[in-house]
Structure 1
Amino acid sequence: MREIKDAAPPARHSPSMRKTSPSPRSSSPRPTVPPAYALETVPRYTSYPTAAQFGPGVDEGAYRDWLAGLDGGTPLSLYVHVPYCRVLCWYCGCHTSVLNDDARIARYARRLEREAELVAAAMPNKGPVAHLHFGGGTPTILAPEDFEAVIARLRALFPFVEDAEIAVEIDPRTLTPAMAQALARAGVNRVSLGIQDIDPEIQRLVNRIQPMETVAATFALLRSVGIERINVDLMYGLPKQDVAHVRASIAAVLALEPERAAVFGYAHVPWFAKHQAAIDAALLPGAAERLAQAQAAADAFAEAGWTQIGFDHYAHPDDPMAKAAREGTLKRNFQGYTTDQGEVLIGLGASAIGALPLGYAQNEPHLGKWAQAIDEGRIPVVRGIAATPEDRMRRDAIERLMGAFAVDLGALARAHGFPEETFDADLARLAPLAEDGLCAIEGRQVRVLPHARFHVRNVAARLDAYWAPAATRHSRAV
């Protein structure tokens, strides 16, 4: 466990120390990608197969078998889902609901501990935990004492490496000094702050009123308790948002010196997230404007000397995530791009998804049914998918493409015990994208071209055996 001392926090890096010189920018116009690709609905590939393929074939029994078969040397990661918020943001696509009943939230925390006990008991060989991530919802909606109790129980049940990353998603509007101190005592060493956009009108249109003064105060509060690794989440594609808004938001957060940033494209899927119907679709930017906003974000971070990670993350060149991208070890999971090298992800909480070598398992999303399962001593897994050898091969191919923008499909097929020509039909599906300038194909090697980074999901979809162009269960590519 990390030791938290009553000492002054480490000195902040000054802007002059953190900033690097931007690369020279060409005055020639950027190559363009046909706009139809931005309109394609494609997965985000935080898993493969994606959640759209999950079904009831994976249940508690299958999950217990997978857990029992794990090797004790296999590194673990834990994900804890807290599906509650104080106010519902209309853009949100997560499993969450508004709750102001602190007693119910406390009961949820106790059941998280009980679920962890059930899972740990099903694992005779538990590998070391290197990453623990609390997501939501708003994980800091838990009372400070409940949050500390959950982490203490997890540490008692699972072996943690000494320098484990303990990360928590935070709503700056609701973080209290008492909670910040609890985070520090519990060993939290990385946080992510949701900011989205700093313009008051856009905030009103998505029901997230959050003055920049609140964000700055949250940065200061976290640093005062010794938490220095601060990530920020921004968005593009919001109602009435334009390039100027995106640049202004990035400039504002850069002044606070975060460690990393994610810039997500808003996915308007009111048929899935019904509360999104509160957003006026007529105010949403079109495909060309969305692409311009994504590019504006990349330009703004490049001008600040940051490194682009994948298609929607950014970090300082000396950050571990930038290093992982350079070295080809970048991974992707349900939180997006990550440095987490764990081979097993255990999901805890309602709707949480676990990722194991043999497949994916998702907990019951209905809070009442999830609670009932816990109270009855059942691990609440209700759906998922068993990954075939071909699925695992394609998962590796897509992850390499999403992280490094290049993959040798022939070599990868051989490494998985498949014939070198296994992906040849997929290469034929990629040929039109190569003609349109999204990628280059040399033999069986595929490389996403620099100007088409935002379209890497289009390229990856052609390696997805389940994806079809007419599918509508996913978000737009850009």
Structure 2
Amino acid sequence: MTPDAIARYDLRVPRYTSYPTAPHFTPEVNAGTYAGWLSALPETTTVSLYVHIPFCAELCLYCGCHTTVARTYNPIASYVEYLLQEIALIKKQLSKRLNISHIHWGGGTPTIVLSDDMARIMQALADTFNFKDEAEIAIEIDPRTVTRDQVEALAKAGFNRASLGVQDFNPQVQKTINRIQSFEETQQVVTWLREFNISGINLDLMYGLPHQTVEGVISSVRKALELEPDRLALFGYAHVPWMKKHQNLIPESSLPGATDRVSQMQAAEETITKGGYVTVGIDHYAKPTDPMAVQQKEGKLHRNFQGYTTDTATALIGFGTSAIGFLPQGYVQNASSTVVYRDAIKEGNLATARGIAISQDDIQRRSIIERLMCDFEIDIDAFTKANGLPANSYDDELERLHPLVTDGIVVMDGRYIQVTAGARPLVRLVCAVFDRYFQSKQGQYSKAL
């Protein structure tokens, strides 16, 4: 990409981990709505679960998650009880015992929960759902705080995949973002995970952080590759201090510009792929034999709130503050405030604060966007025929793609669309053309690059 193209296309667009995206959720979808949707789930539905732990030992300044610093275990212990109550409330709404294909614990720092409490939550989930033998049970880990005993407990609780936050190994970058984490302590946790047969290991890296340089990013990537993870994720730092006030503590003068960000991203990707990994989507990398790489090659990759995924479940149930779920009828999100979440659960109510019911048009556009995000191409003629749509469906959207064709972002052959290899980081701009909600909320999204 040329500097001119970068300047023109470094726009704010959704990450498209859902469609419609979360800024369009409204309070019109509430706890009563969610209860009805849950009770209507067919017995054959395969479900994924998400558990959100909104606590950390300290706050990383780059963070965009719903989390708070817990100085003692008391608020965490109380939160565990509310999670158990929420699981019981969900169980009452389900008329069947549904099968589970994936569980993901996120945060915050999920491993801030004591092992005994984590085991209680996992048992409550096991008492409510059927875990498939091949279910992936994943957790996000802060390598600075986890112990060998905790890793052993994770294995006993059934976890088989772990995502370790790395971000960057450069001391100056780490100091600025308030996340001091050595390579050695990260390596130690990886060793423990493999010792206890938690064999699926992901590492999360970032570019666009304060004081990052191309050379520094390459150095961090090379160190990460020494750990031989199955997958790596490379995310661009989203500087949104108007939404996350703590980001105001990061000097804007220390942040790389759009051209530097792109250079960092490209250098990181080149280093990763030379290391034997294949590119999956716009920000994931995997060993060629990893299921994620295989699914992308077969055109079967999916995308949800955790990003790219091999999960094929048709419903997601979220637990905890801010947790998002989706069901055939639409999306739901719990209250983002732990206090509001707590009060709802204490009163015996689901904590649903907002959501959106989806139409058939939403479902079809979601499919188009997901294929673009995963495959970087779609045949609109084949899609409309397969869905019984009029032949002229999406003519307006195809017309709006012409400037992207002129600029070499997209090539079109009739109604077949393909994002060019060098412009794949801009695929979200192509998706936005098919997003009928996009224009009204542009200021709430992160930059495309």
TM tier relative to shorter chain: over 0.9
Q: Which moved more, 1:455-464 or 1:129-138?
A: 455-464
User: Structure 2 residue aligned with 1:431, among 391, 398, 402?
Assistant: 402
For 1:91, what is the secondary structure of its paired residue?
Answer: coil
1:227 aligns with 2:227: no
Tell me the equivalent position of 2:112: 141
Tell me the equivalent position of 1:180: 151
- Residue 32 of structure 1 contacts residue 451 of structure 1 at CA under 8 Å; is this kept in 2? no
For 1:275, what is the secondary structure of its paired residue?
Answer: helix
Tell me the equivalent position of 2:427: 456
For 2:49, what is the secondary structure of its paired residue?
Answer: strand
Tell me the equivalent position of 2:336: 365
- Residue 196 of structure 1 contacts residue 233 of structure 1 at CA under 8 Å; is this kept in 2? yes
One-letter identity of the residue aligned with 1:277: N
1:237-256 equivalences under 5 Å are: 237-256=208-227
Tell me the equivalent position of 1:19: none
One-letter identity of the residue aligned with 1:180: V
1:196 aligns with 2:170: no
1:39 aligns with 2:10: yes
For 1:421, what is the secondary structure of its paired residue?
Answer: coil
- Residue 284 of structure 2 contacts residue 308 of structure 2 at CA under 8 Å; is this kept in 1? yes
- Residue 410 of structure 1 contacts residue 423 of structure 1 at CA under 8 Å; is this kept in 2? no
Tell me the equivalent position of 1:389: 360
1:96 CA displacement: 0.5
Deviation by residue 1:172-203 (Cα, 9 ceiling, x = unmatched): 00001221111010010000000000000000
- Residue 148 of structure 2 contacts residue 189 of structure 2 at CA under 8 Å; is this kept in 1? no
One-letter identity of the residue aligned with 2:252: A
One-letter identity of the residue aligned with 2:148: P
Tell me the equivalent position of 2:416: 445
Deviation by residue 1:305-350 (Cα, 9 ceiling, x = unmatched): 1100000000000000000110111110111100000000001001
| Equivalent pairs, count | 449
1:32 CA displacement: 7.7
Tell me the equivalent position of 1:26: none
1:41-440 equivalences under 5 Å are: 41-440=12-411
1:411 CA displacement: 2.5
One-letter identity of the residue aligned with 2:390: P
* Counterparts of 1:31 and 1:287, CA distance in 2: 11
Deviation by residue 1:435-459 (Cα, 9 ceiling, x = unmatched): 1001111121111111111111111
One-letter identity of the residue aligned with 2:371: R
For 2:62, what is the secondary structure of its paired residue?
Answer: coil
Deviation by residue 1:449-478 (Cα, 9 ceiling, x = unmatched): 111111111111111111129821100001
One-letter identity of the residue aligned with 1:442: D
For 2:164, what is the secondary structure of its paired residue?
Answer: strand
Taking a change above 3 Å as real, the CA distance of residues 269 and 434 of structure 1, as seen in their structure-2 partners, is same
Unaligned runs of 5+ in 2: none
Deviation by residue 1:249-285 (Cα, 9 ceiling, x = unmatched): 1100111111100000000000111111111111110
* Counterparts of 1:303 and 1:43, CA distance in 2: 30
One-letter identity of the residue aligned with 1:275: H
For 2:401, what is the secondary structure of its paired residue?
Answer: helix
* Counterparts of 1:207 and 1:419, CA distance in 2: 54
* Counterparts of 1:256 and 1:278, CA distance in 2: 32
One-letter identity of the residue aligned with 2:244: A
1:126 CA displacement: 3.8
* Counterparts of 1:283 and 1:49, CA distance in 2: 34
**Between the two proteins, what is the percent identity of the paired residues?**
46
1:159 CA displacement: 0.8
One-letter identity of the residue aligned with 1:255: E
- Residue 343 of structure 1 contacts residue 356 of structure 1 at CA under 8 Å; is this kept in 2? yes
Deviation by residue 1:203-244 (Cα, 9 ceiling, x = unmatched): 001110111111111111222222121100000000110111
* Counterparts of 1:87 and 1:414, CA distance in 2: 53
* Counterparts of 1:420 and 1:33, CA distance in 2: 36
One-letter identity of the residue aligned with 1:159: N
* Counterparts of 1:107 and 1:454, CA distance in 2: 42
* Counterparts of 1:117 and 1:404, CA distance in 2: 39
Q: Give TM-score scaled by structure 1 length.
A: 0.92
Unaligned runs of 5+ in 1: 1-29
For 2:66, what is the secondary structure of its paired residue?
Answer: coil
One-letter identity of the residue aligned with 1:317: P
One-letter identity of the residue aligned with 1:419: P
- Residue 318 of structure 2 contacts residue 324 of structure 2 at CA under 8 Å; is this kept in 1? yes
- Residue 129 of structure 1 contacts residue 159 of structure 1 at CA under 8 Å; is this kept in 2? yes
* Counterparts of 2:182 and 2:238, CA distance in 1: 24
- Residue 130 of structure 1 contacts residue 161 of structure 1 at CA under 8 Å; is this kept in 2? yes
For 2:322, what is the secondary structure of its paired residue?
Answer: coil
CA RMSD of aligned residues (A): 1.3
For 1:468, what is the secondary structure of its paired residue?
Answer: helix
* Counterparts of 2:252 and 2:388, CA distance in 1: 48
